[in-house]
Amino acid sequence: MIHIGQLIESELHRQERSVSWFAQKLCCERTNVYSIFKRKSIDTALLIRICQILHYDFFAVYSLKLEIKDQVATNPVQ
């Protein structure tokens, strides 16, 4: 299962951005950002905004997981 909040937090740290910077870009409080980090799922409209802010396609993570799942389903290991 994908934990989107952890992925967002990891990308924010990878970019060496602060939680305060991210909160300002999202137009929310820092506490809301920490709440996002704890989420296993997220509203798509919010995720689009986060993708734009961080210049990272988090949707691709889900797409890749779907592709792998489809490959396993069509080519089961014997």
- Position 33 scores a pLDDT of 98
Q: Are 69 and 62 in contact (CB under 8 A)?
A: no
Binning pLDDT at 50, 70 and 90, where does residue 70 land? Answer: low
Nearest CA-CA partner of 64 in 12, 7, 9, 5: 7
Binning pLDDT at 50, 70 and 90, where does residue 1 land? Answer: confident
Q: Give per-residue pLDDT as tens, 41-65.
A: 999 999 999 999 999 999 999 888 7
Q: Which fold has domain 4-74?
A: 434 Repressor (Amino-terminal Domain) (1.10.260)
Q: Give per-residue pLDDT as tens, 24-40.
A: 999 999 999 999 999 99
